[in-house]
Amino acid sequence: MTISVDEYFRVQKKSTRKKEPRYIAVINKNSCTSCNSCATVCPVDCIYEVPGVLPSESYHQIDTTRCIGCQLCYRVPSESTDYYQLVVCPWNAIDMLYNPAQKSTPTVLEPYYRGEPQEEMPWDEIEEFGYALYLNEELRVRPHDEIRQKVMDFFTSPVWARNGEEPFRICDPQFEEHDGYRLYRATPEGLQLLIEVFEGYPKVFMD
């Protein structure tokens, strides 16, 4: 059963999973029709609905900080093979990604960072959130999630640029405060960079 975004963040106050999964799932809100197919099968209830003014404007989102990469929202394992995928989402709105925390390749956003070098940059989370921003132009982050809030500090600082450009912010520093989460939106400059970076980003199962 679908849970609304406000109720979800009231109930799920922490990002909790036992270990980093191999994959993570992300929903493209512009393709989602809020049909509830994905939320019905999610074993950890990390999918919530963002209601619109009209029912046709509602969409679902996945809390990637809790996603375990089981693929059940994406395909039916017992009915899928290497050559055929029986997908769950009828609108092809879900992307299965290799979890940046499990990849050995360099992060795709690091070449565009112009801030002061730091010993421990959360590049895995920056890449994970960057892809979600690329798809949806918005992010919901728990205010007490220190790791993800650190990511947002980087996103909302003017420390990103292509060669020869003036640094800009990926996200607007003016977030919307809600009960249990903060809503951040991408800036036009930031979104354009994310589109360029993630346009050919590798996904697990290609249609």
pLDDT digits (tens, 9 = 90+) for 138-147: 999 999 999 9
- Percent residues over pLDDT 70 in the chain: 94
| pLDDT tens figures, 64-107 | 999 999 999 988 776 667 666 767 898 989 999 999 998 878 88
Architecture of the CATH domain 5-198: 2-Layer Sandwich (3.30)
Where exactly are the structural domains of the chain? 5-198
Q: Could you count the other beta carbons within 10 Å of the beta carbon of residue 13?
A: 12
Query: What global pTM score does this model have?
Result: 0.91
Residue recorded with tokens 């919901």: 140
- Specify the pLDDT at position 1: 63
Q: Please, which residues have CB within 8 angstroms of residue 194's CB and are 6 or more apart in sequence?
A: 130, 131, 133, 134, 170, 186
Report whether pLDDT(159) > 60. yes
Helix (H, G, I), strand (E, B) or coil at 157: coil
Q: Tell me the C-alpha distance between 14 and 143, whole Å.
A: 10
Cα dist. 1→14, 56, 88, 106 in Å? 20, 18, 15, 38
Give the pLDDT band of residue 206 (cuts 50, 70, 90): very low
Average pLDDT over residues 95-120: 90
